[in-house]
Amino acid sequence: MPQPSPAPRAAPHPVGPAFSGWLPGVDGICYGGDYNPEQWPEEVWAEDVRLMREAGVNLVSVGIFSWALLEPQEGCFDFAWLDRVIDLLHANGIRVDLGTPTAAPPAWFFHATPHARVVTRDGVTLGPGSRGMVAPSSPEYRAAAVRITTELAKRYGTHPAVALWHVHNEYGAPVSDDYSENAQHAFRRWLLERYGSLDALNAAWGTAFWGQVYGDWDHVQVPAATPTTANPAQRLDFARFTDAMLLECFTAERDAIRTHSDVPVTTNFMAAACPSTDLFRWAREVDVVSNDHYLTAADPRNHVGLALAADLTRSVAGGKPWMLLEHSTSAVNWQPRNVAKRPGEMARNALTHLGRGADAIMFFQWRASRSGAEKFHSAMLPHAGTGSRVWREVVQLGADLGRLSELRGSRVRADVAILWDQESFWAQDLEWRPSEDAVPRERVEAFYDRLWRDGLTVDFAQPGQDLSGYRLVVAPASYLLRADDAANLTAYVAGGGTLLVSYFSGIVDEHDAVHAGGFLAPLRDALGLTVEEFLPLRQGDEVGLAYGAEGRELTGTVWADDVALDGAQVVASYVDGPKPGGAAITRHEHGAGTGWYVSTRLDVESLALLMGDVYADARLAPSGLDEDLEVVRRHGEAADYLVAVNHSATDLKLPGQVAAGQATDLLTGEPVTGETPVPAGGARVLRLPR
């Protein structure tokens, strides 16, 4: 059987959108939210724009779910109400982020095209009456989506109020995988294009195993429910296919818009929250990267997750300014317990996004809906009206962002990168892995949290991209690691970089096939070892480690390896568990750099000891600030800016050397010298002297 050729993959360069402009006519930081005037009588609209002006709103997202009103019957359009809304906003100096309404097709569409509905893996057809329930590979859906988008682009493409196109809504949510007949046909076409022949497909999927060899393209299926686990390479390709179908829907609408409009195009991502889209790929297709972020209410440290999502968004944008297109003023309505934001929390959230590179702070939504599924979701203008705490904080935030206009366009720089490869997550998240406790996202979050606590700003990076600008690269979960990506990481180390790799990395290639030479073989040169056997632990079991010359005690959980050393120096050994005396943590010099390997799960506290030594190799040091004081720097052309957010209930101080010389507090306009207090639960934004 022929060997599969390496599967094509989008070129790793460049990272982020090609477009380097910004929204026309929006000065300063964008501030506003989703605006759904069609849910309200027209007399409310005048009050809306008056209050928007009071709150400092300069941009609203309109028409995201308006398809049924804009095209009440197939091919019959009614834009009169939208004309009036857009003209009213324009007259009041508020710009429009104009939605294409394709996340919620009208009832007539489903009536005429029932086979465009999504079918789940278990064979359930999802009904209408909700949103996001169309098969992305349906030709009828794509044609209808392009038709309404074209009509909108023709009508509003040069309207002076329109500053941005908001295509669709959150591709990949609420469902992404579709196992319908449409998907079946499209999957075969996609596979044929990718592999060219059945021989290549059989080789890539390893179909000799369990007798799955295909002799006819018509026999190839979407990986719907099977009696036992389905072919993992097939499922990995199905994840790629799903992503590709969604992206094709986006580019079709984007291209329809571009025929009639020069206004930049975005679609709102859900960085770190939507597993079905490979955002590094998507970011190359948009003009401006935008993101939606909602706190996990159950997590008391959810501001760290927020920072991770913001850093990931900036990273997929290639470091360019990005937009926070949605977050909430207070509670959402769709988590098990929808905790209201405490006073000041919304501003802390907003300023954290801003500090990490957002040049737009927007919400879902402007005015709370009285009806429908989201009536208990917070809004800028809540049900309680303008007498409410939330409204007062919204007005205050608008005024504060107005004082921060000069931050627009400034950039965040990071010395550390954490690897993020969506394909690897897709592969590792399949069934029958050595331990269900080895969860890739958990490791990414643990290393991110350690770096967050140490005050080190982090980018996320793909394993194949140019890493030479980073002092430290952390690979917490690189289960799937292509040989060329491993070569890139090895060259990074040889060139002087410090690489830290966590367990269950470098295991399979792009077809989920174990690398020739065994586990970790592609990183043997960089790390000075391979893994002979995985030694996962029983649930709840711990393994003891002796770290360094003093044998300091550490505890690992979940995982251990039987490591085959090939030049690496042992930094920590197991004292008990499945391989007492075996290497647990290693360090290896390769070329001008260093490769570290950690073969067990250390919690965030235990990681401090290891990371201290890793930082030393990378010529990095923790900031030394209080762990609850989050500080990020943005670099502008004329000045640098420091955004400091105090997440604790105690007043904290920014030491004098952080803002050395005379800085200006942009929120108060006051000069600041020396030690700067950051009040409990508060934030400071300083312009630093150059």
Q: Which positions are annotated as active-site residues?
A: 170, 326
With CB under 6 A as the contact rule, the residue among 203, 246, 332, 473 that binds ligand GLA is 332
- Applying CB under 6 A, which of residues 95, 377, 579, 684 lies at the interface with ligand GLA? 377
Closest distance to ligand GLA from the beta carbon of 180 (Å): 24
Rounded Cα distance between 368 and 409, Å, is 31
Nearer to ligand GLA by Cβ, of 132 and 318: the residue is 132
- What sign has the CA pseudo-torsion 181, 182, 187, 188? positive
Cβ proximity to ligand GLA: between 270 and 642 the closer is 270
The amino acid at residue 483 is A
**Per-residue string for binding with ligand GLA, 379-418, x by CB under 6 A?**
----------------------------------------
Q: Exposed (0-12), middle (13-18) or buried (19+): which is 214, by Cβ within 10 Å?
A: middle
Backbone angles phi, psi at 352, to 5 degrees: -65, -45
Q: Per CB under 6 A, does 326 bind ligand GLA?
A: yes
Measured at the alpha carbon of residue 438, what is the angle toward residues 432 and 443, in degrees to the nearest 5? Answer: 145
User: Residue type at 188?
Assistant: R
For ligand GLA, the closer CB: 294 or 596: 294
Question: Least distance from C-beta 333 to ligand GLA, angstroms?
Answer: 7
**292 lies in the site for ligand GLA, by CB under 6 A:** yes
Q: Where are the beta strands (DSSP E) in 224-382?
A: 265-266, 268-269, 290-292, 322-326, 358-363
Q: Which is nearer to ligand GLA, 40 or 77 (CB)?
A: 40
| Neighbouring C-alpha atoms within 13 Å toward the C-beta of 129 | 2
Smallest CA-to-CA distance from 457 within 443, 442, 472 is with 472
Min separation Cβ 332 and ligand GLA, Å: 5
Count CB atoms within 10 A of the CB of residue 196. Answer: 11
CB of residue 325 vs ligand GLA: minimum separation in angstroms? Answer: 8
Q: Calculate the alpha carbon distances from 362 to 182, 345, 640 in Å.
A: 36, 15, 24
Per CB under 6 A, 478 contacts ligand GLA: no
Interface residue with ligand GLA, options 364, 448, 479, 504 (CB under 6 A): 364
Instruction: Tell me the number of residues near ligand GLA by CB under 6 A.
Output: 9
Please, what is the minimum distance in Å from the beta carbon of residue 96 to ligand GLA?
Answer: 17
Sole binder of ligand GLA in the list 374, 429, 437, 627 (CB under 6 A): 374
Residue choice 187, 294, 447, 504 for contact with ligand GLA (CB under 6 A): 294
CB-nearer residue toward ligand GLA: 149 or 490: 149
The nearer residue to ligand GLA, 394 or 474, going by C-beta atoms, is: 394
Note whether 482 binds ligand GLA by CB under 6 A.
Answer: no
Site residues (CB under 6 A) for ligand GLA, limited to 501-540 = none
- Taking phi over 0 as left and psi of -120 to 50 as alpha, with beta for the rest, 618 belongs to alpha
At 348, give phi and psi (nearest 5°): -60, -45
Helices (H) and strands (E) in the chain, counts: 17, 28
Do 610 and 654 meet the contact criterion of CB atoms below 8 Å apart? no
Instruction: List 685's β-bridge partners, or say none.
Output: 643
Closest CA to 58 of 94, 16, 97, 22: 94
Q: How far is residue 164 from each of residues 80, 99, 120, 153, 600, measured CA to CA in Å? A: 20, 9, 34, 11, 47
Give the residue with the Cβ less far from ligand GLA, 377 or 433.
377
DSSP-assigned letters across all residues of 88-107: HHHHTT-EEEEEE-TTS--H
Least gap, CB of 99 to ligand GLA (angstroms): 10
When the beta carbons of 330 and 410 are compared against ligand GLA, the nearer one is: 330
Interaction of residue 266 with ligand GLA, rule CB under 6 A: no
Task: Tell me the closest approach of the beta carbon of residue 321 to ligand GLA, in angstroms.
Answer: 21
Longest C-alpha distance within the chain, in Å? 78
Q: Name the minimum Å distance from CB 412 to ligand GLA.
A: 24
Q: Count Cβ atoms below 10 Å from residue 1 Cβ, excluding itself.
A: 11
Inter-residue contact 467 to 414 (CB < 8 Å)? no
| Least distance from ligand GLA to the Cβ atom of residue 171, Å | 11
Smallest separation (angstroms) from ligand GLA to the CB of 684? 29
- From the list 294, 236, 178, the residue with the least C-alpha distance to 422 is 236
> The tokens of 592 are what?
């001008």
Separation of alpha carbons 269 and 643, rounded Å: 24
Structure tokens at 109: 């569409």
- β-strand partners of 629: 646
Nearest distance from C-beta of residue 654 to ligand GLA, angstroms: 33
CA 577 to chain centre: 36
Which positions from 164 to 193 touch ligand GLA by CB under 6 A, shown as an x/- string?
-----xx-----------------------
Neighbours of 647 (CB within 10 A): 19
Q: Is 151 in the site for ligand GLA (CB under 6 A)?
A: no
Q: Pull the structure tokens for residue 576.
A: 């008990």
Amino acid letter, residue 19: F
Q: Which is nearer to ligand GLA, 338 or 555 (CB)?
A: 338
Task: Report in angstroms how near the CB of residue 59 gets to ligand GLA at its nearest.
Answer: 16
Nearer to ligand GLA by C-beta: 64 or 148?
64
Select 169 or 231, whichever has its Cβ closest to ligand GLA.
Answer: 169
To the nearest whole angstrom, how small is the minimum distance from the Cβ of residue 214 to ligand GLA?
A: 39
- In order, the DSSP letters of 303-317 are HHHHHHHHHHHHHHT
Query: Judged by CB, which is closer to ligand GLA: 34, or 151?
Result: 34
Measured CA to CA in angstroms, residue 587 lies from 545, 581, 596 at distances of: 15, 16, 5
Strands 561-565 and 552-557: unpaired
DSSP assignment of 569-587, as one string?
Answer: EEEEEESSTTSTTSEEEEE
132: phi then psi, degrees, rounded to nearest 5: 65, 30
Q: Are 416 and 471 in contact (CB under 8 A)?
A: yes
Contact call for residue 327 and ligand GLA (CB under 6 A): no
State CA 674 to chain mean position distance. 37
Mode of pairing for the β-strands spanning 593-598 and 498-502: parallel
When the beta carbons of 330 and 424 are compared against ligand GLA, the nearer one is: 330
- Residues at the site binding ligand GLA, with contacts judged by CB under 6 A: 169-170, 292, 294, 326, 332, 364, 374, 377
